[in-house]
Amino acid sequence: MASFVIKSAHLRYVVRTGKLMNGNWTRNTFCSDRRYATEGDNKVPKIYTKTGDKGFSSTFTGERRPKEDHIFEALGNTDELSSAIGLAREFCLDKGHTFTYQLDKIQCILQDVGSNIATPQSSARESHIRRTKFTAQPIADLETWIDTFTEELPPLTNFILPSGGKSSSALHLARTVCRRAERSVAPIVRAGEADPDVAKFLNRLSDYLFTAARYAATKEGNEEKIYKRPE
């Protein structure tokens, strides 16, 4: 796992400026929260930097690349994925689902995914690589959660359409965004620019979101829509 997590606005600061904000890190249950202030300095950095006004942004390694670069495409997709999961989480909270802590953790791990993607290995120093390293533990966690859900689900014998209530449908939507994020990360990993476990995590996450969607529908007593060939 990466040794630091950059929240969405902070990640935008990093990829625009190529710099981490100075300060101390504090750890809560899932995410790392950064205190903005350094000793004797209570200034909060502005959210806008103006460094991207000409269509270029910086990676964590300091490279300036056009905003349509595959690195920023992947970062945008993982950011969108986290937003989709956040929306699904709100629906799940409304229904009292007990697995929302998993969605919290996944959103934080996606920040680690973004940190790794924003650090192209070809231009990274050893210190960059150490700070953004991504490990296989989150993949094992997803597999454990998938197996636990599956034990309580009826066997899958038909093609399931996105359905089953708001919680389930929102999780299915997040799954489709996850697939897109995975597709955009795959060539970066193949090029050796990101850790292979990042792609594995996204692949397993889409399976998790599919299973969680089915689990949410079952727990809410909602019927899943089955594919039927139109007559």
**208 within a domain of the structure (yes/no):** yes
**173 within a domain of the structure (yes/no):** yes
CATH of the domain at 123: 1.20.1200.10
**Residue 211, C-beta contacts closer than 8 angstroms, at least 6 positions apart:** 145, 146, 149, 150, 153
Q: What is the pLDDT along the chain (231 residues), one digit of tens a residue?
A: 443 334 444 454 444 444 443 333 333 344 544 333 345 557 788 888 898 999 999 888 888 998 999 999 999 999 999 999 999 999 999 999 999 999 999 999 999 999 999 999 888 888 888 899 999 999 999 999 999 999 999 999 999 999 999 999 999 999 999 999 999 999 999 999 999 999 999 999 999 999 999 999 999 999 999 999 988
| pLDDT for the residue 46 | 86
| pLDDT for the residue 219 | 97
| pLDDT for the residue 80 | 98
**167 within a domain of the structure (yes/no):** yes
Give residue 214's domain range.
Answer: 57-220
**6 within a domain of the structure (yes/no):** no
Q: Which residue from 77, 85, 225, 60 is spatially nearest to 159, judged by alpha carbons?
A: 225
d(CA 101, CA 93): 10
d(CA 170, CA 162): 9
Torsion of CA 162, 164, 165, 170, to 10 degrees: -30
| pLDDT for the residue 94 | 98
| pLDDT for the residue 31 | 54
**215 within a domain of the structure (yes/no):** yes
d(CA 8, CA 106): 14
Q: How many distinct structural domains can be found in the chain?
A: 1
The model's pTM is: 0.81
**186 within a domain of the structure (yes/no):** yes
End-to-end CA distance of the chain: give it in Å, rounded: 50
